[in-house]
Chains A and B, each alone.
Chain A
Amino acid sequence: MNIIVLVKQVPDTTEVKLDPKTGNLMREGIDSIINPDDRHALEAAVNLKETKGGKITVLSMGPPQAVDAVSEALAMGADRGILLSDAAFAGADTWATSYTLGRAIKKIGRYDLILCGRQAIDGDTAQIGPQVADYLDLPQVSYVYHIEKVNRKSMVVKRRLEDGFERVRAAMPALLTVIGELNLPRYPHVGRLIDACREKAPIEVWNAADIGVETREVGLEGSLTHVIKTFAPKAQREGEIIEGDVKESVRILTGKLKENRLI
């Protein structure tokens, strides 16, 4: 069974801070990690390989340093890594990203399954999986938290809903987006990590020409949505603060609630 896993390198947003003076993001010193959901996708792929055999290709689009994420994926058990990196890919929205990834997948060729994370913690869109699936004309199941059965022609998985779950059968090849509940990702194997960082490691870097796309179709130029403004979330309100004796404070507060006909 041949599996392609889409992996994104993201800044660890739990560490992102805003510069209090300028309101800008301070990116210095923030670690880059494999997007958390994508680790679960990788674990699922390695699991399937262990039971069904086959080959895992990791595919990532990002700046040159995103190769670290690809190496780490190899150390978790992937066989081949491809990094899509080109200045022309920069500034892509999900439309342009899904196109770029889709073209690369067509070049990779044969596969039975594509696995993605549900969403990336930097963009938080959860759009890439379904958009890639549509580009490739594949059935998709999102929010997958259990893989029950995989045959040659179809698979049965469970997907989370807000108030329960669905068991779904999907024809293969298919694309799944997975959530953290699916499994517990293994740690990268140290020996494999050392190998994956060697020059001979099975990692290729492809640019726009390699996947046969024009620069105006990808990156910022190929995007349909554009950020026109960013700003720090405003703290509105800032009302009245009551300090002092508990009974008295509560009395004042209930007075306010009555005034506003809330109680």
Chain B
Amino acid sequence: MTVWIETANCNGCKRCIKTCPYGAVELREGKAYILEHCTSCGACVEVCREKAVLTDAEPRTIPDFSDRKGVWVFAEQRNGSLNRVSLELLGKAQSLAADLGQEVSAVLLGSQVSGLAKTLFGYGADNVYLAQHRALKDYRTIAYTKVFEELVKEFKPNILLMGATHVGRDLGPRVSRRVGAGLTADCTELSIDPEEGILLQTRPAFGGNVMATIANRYSRPQMATVRPGIMEAVRKKNNRGNLIKCRVSLTEKEIGTKVLEAVRETRGKVNLAEAKVIVAGGRGVGSEAGMKALFSLAKAFGGEVAGTRIIVEEGWLPVERQVGQTGQSVRPEIYIACGISGAIQHRAGIMGSRYIIAINKDPGAPIFKVADWGIVGDLHQVVPEMTRAVSQSMGK
């Protein structure tokens, strides 16, 4: 397929230029012009209102999906405890379902896990589909995929969300292929398009340098994995839902894998996802010894310490304390960035914070652009002073 410009129709509005994910369209003599490195992705075709961007691709008809209903969330559990991201997704699912006038359902797989259904109702599930089987005790790709395949075929959901965890990112693509549905990875924002009623899925692309909004028009369910720590879990008090028990038949042979051993490493468990206050350090902290002051400030707040990738690469903090695109996303009440420049990949992980405070000696540092309050100064002086001030007022 190719894309070209019908110059007679082009009014030079630049919509196609702004949309091109590859920077492959420019304005020449007032008209759009397609550059050599165009990949024919077609993003420009869709946004042009003048019918000036043409393609030889045949227009596709959107199938009738009116029988597809409900927003589903995969309730990820391990050893009988739910992954927090599933509750966050139920929070988002409640608002998506409200926009659509549809119901929220959780899909719970495992062995002896029915007790978790209550929690799922409490966080907004109208229905819980429960499949229990010995073979579902440990997460295994093919076993879980098969159950999802059967449930999707029978109950025809409209939307299916999973956490972008190591399990969700293993299962999601497998299920998408199996049920013939498109899947968008690692979304940071979800909403319903008011006109078309479809799910708009926004995610960072090109190492966080651009955001892309993706639609899934031609298949159902509309599937997305969502980063942990981005959506908000919302309690729904006294919610009573339906528990729908599903029968499954599975054999070891078809599953193909066996978990021989599952080991939790107690690498000093940190829980950034649930921390109310996070004091984060960047290269500006200067040394491992310099981190001490940050730990003191975190202690004064009763919070946790985190850092940028550089800090982790330097070995000043362990990797599970890295925040950002390749680290964790966090959403504390207060995020205090000390000696952090605010690179896009770091910012990607902190935008869910309620308040951001930046301490940096360079007034031009990009972190100030996303901060609610910023102090321009040397963190080695500011941080201890803050610790004193905070301890004092918390002490009272």
Contact = CB atoms under 8 A, between A and B. Distances in A.
Nearest to A142: B170
Interface residues of B, number: 103
B261 A140 contact: no
Contacts of A142: 166, 169-170
Which of B58, B257, B351, B366 gathers the greatest number of chain A CB atoms within 10 Å? B257
A223 B183 CA distance: 10
Given A14-B207, A223-B182, A143 B374 contact: no
Interface in A88-135: 88, 90-91, 93-95, 98, 121-131, 133-135
B185 A25 contact: no
B389 A251 contact: yes
Contacts of A260: 355
B209 A250 contact: no
B192 interface: no
A160 interface: yes
B1 A233 contact: no
Contacts of B373: 239-242, 253, 256
A236 B370 contact: yes
Interface string B221-258: 00000000000000000000000000000000001111
Contacts of B374: 239-242
Interface in B23-63: 23, 37, 39-43, 46-47, 57-58, 60
Interface in A136-179: 138-143, 156, 159-171, 174
A35 to B, nearest CB: 12
A95 B257 contact: no
Given A162-B165, A228-B215, A235-B370, A250 B382 contact: yes
Interface in B115-145: 138, 141-142, 145
Interface residues of A, number: 95
B206 A25 contact: yes
B216 A224 contact: yes
Contacts of A174: 256
A74 B261 CA distance: 36
B260 interface: yes
Interface in A202-236: 215-216, 219-221, 223-233, 235-236
Contacts of A246: 377-378, 381-382, 385
A230 to B, nearest CB: 5
Nearest to A140: B141
A250 B260 CA distance: 54
Contacts of B142: 139
B213 A87 contact: no
A232 to B, nearest CB: 6
Interface stretch (B14-22, B151-159, B287-295): B14-22
Contact of B386 (A121, A135, A232, A250): A250
A232 B209 CA distance: 7
A258 interface: yes
Nearest to B252: A171
A98 B43 CA distance: 21
B261 A230 contact: no
Interface stretch (A16-24, A41-49, A52-60, A182-190): A16-24
Interface string B309-337: 00000000000000000000000011000
A82 to B, nearest CB: 21
B344 interface: yes
A192 B73 CA distance: 50
Which of A134, A216, A247 gathers the greatest number of chain B CB atoms within 10 Å? A134
A233 B211 contact: yes
Interface in B337-392: 344, 347-348, 351, 355-357, 363, 366, 368-378, 381-382, 385-386, 389-390
Nearest to A12: B207
Contacts of A225: 182-184, 201, 214-216
A16 B209 CA distance: 7
Nearest to A128: B173
Interface in B83-115: none
A241 B262 contact: no
B172 interface: yes
Given A94-B183, A134-B173, A257-B334, 5 more contacts: A125-B173, A129-B173, A139-B255, A142-B169, A142-B170
Interface of B: 1-2, 17-23, 37, 39-43, 46-47, 57-58, 60, 138, 141-142, 145, 165-166, 169-174, 176-178, 180-186, 200-201, 204-219, 255-265, 269, 301, 333-334, 344, 347-348, 351, 355-357, 363, 366, 368-378, 381-382, 385-386, 389-390, 393-394
6 nearest A-B pairs in the assembled complex, by CB-CB distance: A224-B182, A139-B256, A13-B207, A24-B23, A225-B182, A127-B173
